[in-house]
């Protein structure tokens, strides 16, 4: 799909504000996301017990949108979806944490309780999703509300898929953010597939941006596989929100190149479409091409990053792959602060 | 006779009702050409067309609400929740609108809400839930929970034909594990509201349903062999309305009761069953009514944790042995 280059009014072109170090850092996160997912896939149905959800083809928008935030302790906060591994990595999640989550290790961030990218670090600035789509929109509106009430110059960012915009919670949350003028940026990921359901069965509007406009939220549609376009649009929206101008919606058009999860063979997707998106519209390929064509970085720099990523992913794997699963009774504590643990049931002590 | 899985039996039941009655239609997420996340409706769209097998947006409240409206007008909707965990998104529609419709407004709402429930599959907290207790407390709904292939078929057909809204819970751990010979060409209908003796016994009764019915049967087998304890196992099949007569009959026969369910303990269905036994057969009891249930925590993902939290065959054996010796 050829998309018109859409640049929000007032945005500064990304090439003008990103240093070559930053451009390389973005490349590092793009490469890390893809390599790490490929690594997780190697362990599917052995060490990785639950489902595996790939973001292949969507790494660009994940990384670029998160990169537009202020990162660090007690800065901006985002809430990723299942295909936003890149966003999590940008915010400071470590590859070993991702591997441990997928493998349900005792030392995983949720100590084996939750799956894949469902975990938090509010100090670093990310709040894990639950499986119920849309729920994170009102929750992130609440996080943005806390920034507003405390007069902190912080911004919340939350992702929603094209399918997720059909939920009631998405609409309620967005409307609340609009009327309260909350510092919330919503990234609407139009990746063409909600499990097996295509957009035309999901909504009757052409663009997700139209939904946001219905709530009085400014909305733009950008090419989601153009790292620069996503970065520019997000940066504009984030800074606007930080200045107290309220919520903003950014629709990123992209494409889910794998099945809903790895068990899904995508038989409902035309092979030609997959091939075209892979060949002509891969976000990493496009980014690299742009960097090299404009002579913004050197080819050797990129190669160095590829090598570094491979080493880091190897090290992360070695560090955790043989770690134990959590001990059985560690299932009991933590439902409440007090009492400290759920009761061990009578038949377990016979 | 042909051997069919639990899932295939459910499919057959749905298929036969779609063939029999053109008012029956299906709506849900990815139920059409994809055939549903677990392939329960595989091939339905091709046979019955997109107008009777409707792919919906990700909108559980709209799915259930629209099913109710269509049911008022005389259609027979079968709404699928992709995982039953998402039924919470339609809780308002089900409890406030659907369940009260007949009582408050004389509205008929013959509809089925069905979906895969249950754990033992490493699904984590949002793909393993057992939501029955929340709806047991909702007058106006019926709840069925088959454990066998025969009842998977018989209960979906009965649910579709019922004049009231039915929540049909199907345990995903049973989908392909349970196989059974079913007669071809004979109509299978399981009446709603009737439990079934899954195994005869005389020393102790286990009351269960769903996946733990099979674990209870396994435990009964072990107790018979190892201890010579004869265990009766009652398969509830319908949770609402509850078959008091069958429950009381087994209590009077064995005088000891262990209730086993996969849902968490506090506020779980076992509490309601125990109360009914107290009220109706207290003097027949030779021991306390005991429960084997999940621990009171959200269901965790790691195999070590899930195995500990959920009731296992070995837990049932130990509990029943304790009760038999009481």
pLDDT in tens, A105-157: 999 999 999 999 999 999 999 999 999 999 999 999 999 999 999 999 999 99
Distance, C-alpha A39 to centroid of its chain: 18
- A9 three-state secondary structure: coil
Picking from B301, B309, B311, B323 by the largest number of A CB atoms within 10 A of its own CB, the best residue to mutate is B301
What pLDDT shows up at residue B77?
Answer: 98
Beta strands at A184-190 and A77-79: parallel, antiparallel or unpaired:
unpaired
Buried/exposed code over A171-196 (b: 16+ C-beta within 10 A; e: otherwise) = bebbbbbbebebbbbbbbbbbbbbbb
Min Cα distance B113 → chain A (Å) is 18
Number of neighbours of residue A243 by Cβ within 10 angstroms: 11
For residue A3, pLDDT beyond 50: no
Token representation of residue B21: 């009655």
Min Cα distance B57 → chain A (Å) is 5
Put simply, the chain B residues between 166 and 195 with a CB less than 8 A from any chain A CB are: none
B62: chain A residues, CB-CB within 8 Å: 166
The residue count of chain A comes to 350
Contact B59 A167 (CB under 8 A): yes
Give, in words, the CATH class of B2-182. alpha beta
The residue count of chain B comes to 326
Average of pLDDT values for A323-344?
A: 92
Min Cα distance B308 → chain A (Å) is 6
pLDDT tens-place string over residues B122-147: 999 999 999 999 999 999 999 999 99
Gap between the Cα atoms of A122 and B62, Å rounded: 33
Number of neighbours of residue A146 by Cβ within 10 angstroms: 13
CA dist A244 to A150, A216, A217, B199, Å?
13, 15, 13, 68
B196-324: same fold as B2-182?
A: yes
Partners of residue A186 on adjacent β-strands? A158, A249
Average of pLDDT values for B6-21?
A: 98
Average of pLDDT values for B14-30?
A: 98
Give yes or no for a contact between A61 and A252, defined as CB atoms under 8 angstroms apart: yes
Number of neighbours of residue B181 by Cβ within 10 angstroms: 10
Put simply, the chain B residues between 24 and 53 with a CB less than 8 A from any chain A CB are: 29-30, 33-34, 37
Token representation of residue A210: 């139209």
Give yes or no for a contact between B291 and B265, defined as CB atoms under 8 angstroms apart: yes
Put simply, the chain B residues between 269 and 308 with a CB less than 8 A from any chain A CB are: 290, 292-293, 295-298, 300-305, 307-308
Please name each of the domains of chain A with its CATH number: 14-349 (3.40.50.970)
* Confidence band of A12 (pLDDT split at 50, 70, 90): low
Give yes or no for a contact between A81 and A114, defined as CB atoms under 8 angstroms apart: no
What pLDDT shows up at residue A339?
Answer: 76
Dihedral sign (CA A20, A153, A126, A257) = negative
Locus of tokens 């990304």:
A14
Picking from A164, A347, A348, A350 by the largest number of B CB atoms within 10 A of its own CB, the best residue to mutate is A347
Residues 6 or more apart whose CB falls under 8 angstroms from that of A312 comprise A32, A95
What pLDDT shows up at residue A16?
Answer: 63
What is the residue-averaged pLDDT of chain A? 94
Fold of B196-324: Rossmann fold (3.40.50)
* Confidence band of A13 (pLDDT split at 50, 70, 90): low
B37, B22, B131: which is closest to B77 by C-alpha? B22
Q: pTM of the predicted model, to two decimals?
A: 0.92
H or E element in which residue A300 lies? helix A299-320
Distance, C-alpha A237 to centroid of its chain: 17
Average of pLDDT values for A150-165?
A: 97
> Residue ranges of the domains in chain B?
2-182, 196-324
Select the residue of B293, B295, B300 nearest A112 (Cβ to Cβ). B300
How many CA within 13 A on the CB side of residue A249?
31
Rounded to 5 degrees, φ, ψ at A294 are -85, 5
Beta strands at B179-182 and B2-5: parallel, antiparallel or unpaired:
antiparallel
């Amino acid at each position: 799909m050829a998309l018109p280059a859409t640049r929000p009014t007032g945005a500064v072109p990304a090439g003008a504000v990103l240093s070559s170090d930053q451009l390389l850092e973005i490349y590092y996160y793009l490469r890390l996301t893809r390599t790490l997912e490929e690594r997780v896939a190697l362990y599917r149905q052995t060490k990785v017990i639950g489902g595996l959800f790939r973001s292949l083809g969507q790494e660009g928008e994940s990384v670029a949108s998160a990169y537009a935030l202020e990162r660090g302790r007690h800065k901006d906060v985002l809430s990723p979806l299942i295909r936003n591994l890149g966003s999590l990595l940008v915010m400071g999640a470590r590859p070993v944490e991702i591997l441990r989550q997928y493998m349900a290790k005792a030392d995983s961030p949720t100590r084996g309780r939750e799956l894949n990218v469902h975990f938090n670090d509010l100090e670093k600035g990310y709040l894990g999703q639950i499986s119920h789509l849309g729920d994170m929109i009102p929750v992130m509106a609440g996080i943005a509300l806390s920034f507003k009430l405390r007069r902190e110059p912080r911004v919340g960012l939350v992702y929603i898929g094209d399918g997720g915009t059909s939920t009631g919670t998405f609409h309620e949350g967005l409307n609340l953010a609009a009327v309260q003028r909350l510092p919330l940026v919503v990234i609407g990921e139009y990746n063409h597939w909600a499990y097996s359901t295509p957009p035309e069965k999901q909504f009757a509007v052409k663009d997700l941006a139209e939904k946001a406009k219905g709530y009085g939220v400014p909305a733009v549609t950008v090419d989601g596989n153009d790292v620069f376009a996503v970065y520019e649009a997000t940066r504009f929206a984030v800074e606007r929100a930080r200045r107290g101008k309220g919520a903003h919606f950014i629709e990123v058009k992209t494409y889910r190149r794998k099945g809903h999860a790895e068990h899904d063979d995508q038989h409902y997707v035309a092979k030609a479409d997959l091939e075209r998106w892979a060949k002509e519209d891969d976000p990493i390929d496009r980014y690299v091409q742009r960097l090299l064509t404009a002579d913004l970085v050197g080819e050797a720099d990129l190669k160095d990053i590829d090598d570094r990523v491979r080493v880091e992913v190897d090290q992360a794997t070695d560090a955790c792959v043989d770690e134990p699963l959590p001990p059985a009774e560690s299932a009991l504590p933590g439902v409440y602060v007090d009492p400290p643990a759920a009761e061990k049931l009578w038949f377990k002590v016979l | 006779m042909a051997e069919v899985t639990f899932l295939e039996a459910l499919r057959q039941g749905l298929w036969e009702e779609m063939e029999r009655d053109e008012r029956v239609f299906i709506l849900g997420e990815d139920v059409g050409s994809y055939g549903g996340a677990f392939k329960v409706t595989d091939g339905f769209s091709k046979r019955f067309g997109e107008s009777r097998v409707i792919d919906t947006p990700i909108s559980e409240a709209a799915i259930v609400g629209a099913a109710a409206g269509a049911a008022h007008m005389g259609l027979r909707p079968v709404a699928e929740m992709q995982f039953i965990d998402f039924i919470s998104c339609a809780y308002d529609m089900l409890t406030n609108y659907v369940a009260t419709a007949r009582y408050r407004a004389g509205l008929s709402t013959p509809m089925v809400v069905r979906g895969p429930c249950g754990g033992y599959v490493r699904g984590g907290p949002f793909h393993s839930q057992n939501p029955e207790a929340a709806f047991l407390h909702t007058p106006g709904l019926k709840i069925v929970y088959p454990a066998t292939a025969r009842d998977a078929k018989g209960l979906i057909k009965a649910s579709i034909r019922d004049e009231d809204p039915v929540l049909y819970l199907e345990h995903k751990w049973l989908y392909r594990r349970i196989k059974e010979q079913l007669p071809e060409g004979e109509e299978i209908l399981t009446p709603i509201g009737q439990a079934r003796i899954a195994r005869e016994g005389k020393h102790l009764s286990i009351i269960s349903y769903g996946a733990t019915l099979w674990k209870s049967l396994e435990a009964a087998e072990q107790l018979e062999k190892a201890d010579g304890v004869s265990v009766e196992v009652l398969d509830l099949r319908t949770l609402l309305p509850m078959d008091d007569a069958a429950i009381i009959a087994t209590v009077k026969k064995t005088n000891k009761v262990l209730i086993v369910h996969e849902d968490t303990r506090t506020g779980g269905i076992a509490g309601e069953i125990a109360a009914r036994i107290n009220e109706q057969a207290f003097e027949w009891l030779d021991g306390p009514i005991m429960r084997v249930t999940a621990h009171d925590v959200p269901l965790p993902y790691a195999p070590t944790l899930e195995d500990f939290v959920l009731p296992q065959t070995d837990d049932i054996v130990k509990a029943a042995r304790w009760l038999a010796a009481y």
